[in-house]
Chain A
Amino acid sequence: KAGVTQTPRYLIKTRGQQVTLSCSPISGHRSVSWYQQTPGQGLQFLFEYFSETQRNKGNFPGRFSGRQFSNSRSEMNVSTLELGDSALYLCASSFENSYEQYFGPGTRLTVT
């Protein structure tokens, strides 16, 4: 079974731009969660989607948004990028009624 895939793997953007990251979950998984990892703040939860609905949301400004499609693929968007948005963005998928999360390789975003 293929694992969680994330595209792109690396991205360099300029302050003020916007970016869209994509996550394809493991086949059959309907739950997708997004996380941000930085050296200063550590791992922080962004949001969780299940069957195209946002179920939970972390404490991030409205510039961070996401969505999930009918095939369970998910995207997250960051508008008006700031230097502090430079981070590794991880997504994880899980099977319905399963607690275990499987993480993708991450997208490393650098904002200059």
Chain B
Amino acid sequence: ELKVEQNPLFLSMQEGKNYTIYCNYSTTSDRLYWYRQDPGKSLESLFVLLSNGAVKQEGRLMASLDTKARLSTLHITAAVHDLSATYFCAVKTTSGTYKYIFGTGTRLKVLA
């Protein structure tokens, strides 16, 4: 079964702390996406990772990809309240019919 699993599902953290969200996927893929969604809003693209070992950083967020382990991480450095949102990872499969599969999402709450 094609699966994309994220953990944790919920994350409550203090401002200034660091944390990592994990995304495991079970299928072959040629790209991995990270998105942010605020309540009641659409998806905002954060990163697209294309190759093994890819690392991208934007502000306090850094994403990495290990295609051999089929694992991506989204690392949050010195969290601030504005980062509170739900974060999704997604892959585009390359086996069989190509399709996009999303993780369940990680609801992040940063406490002041």
Contacts and interface: CB of A to CB of B under 8 A. Distances in A.
Contacts of A99: 31, 48, 50
Contacts of A100: 45, 48
B42 A106 contact: yes
Contacts of B97: 56-57
A45 B101 contact: yes
A105 B33 CA distance: 18
A42 B105 contact: yes
Contact of B44 (A33, A42, A103): A103
B60 interface: no
Give the interface size bracket for A toward B. Answer: 20 to 34
A101 B42 contact: no
A57 B42 contact: no
A42 B106 CA distance: 12
B88 A43 contact: yes
Interface of A: 33, 35, 42-45, 48, 55-58, 90, 92, 99-106
Interface of B: 31, 33, 35, 41-45, 48, 50, 88, 90, 97-102, 104-105
Given A33-B100, A103-B42, 4 more contacts: A35-B102, A56-B98, A57-B99, A99-B31
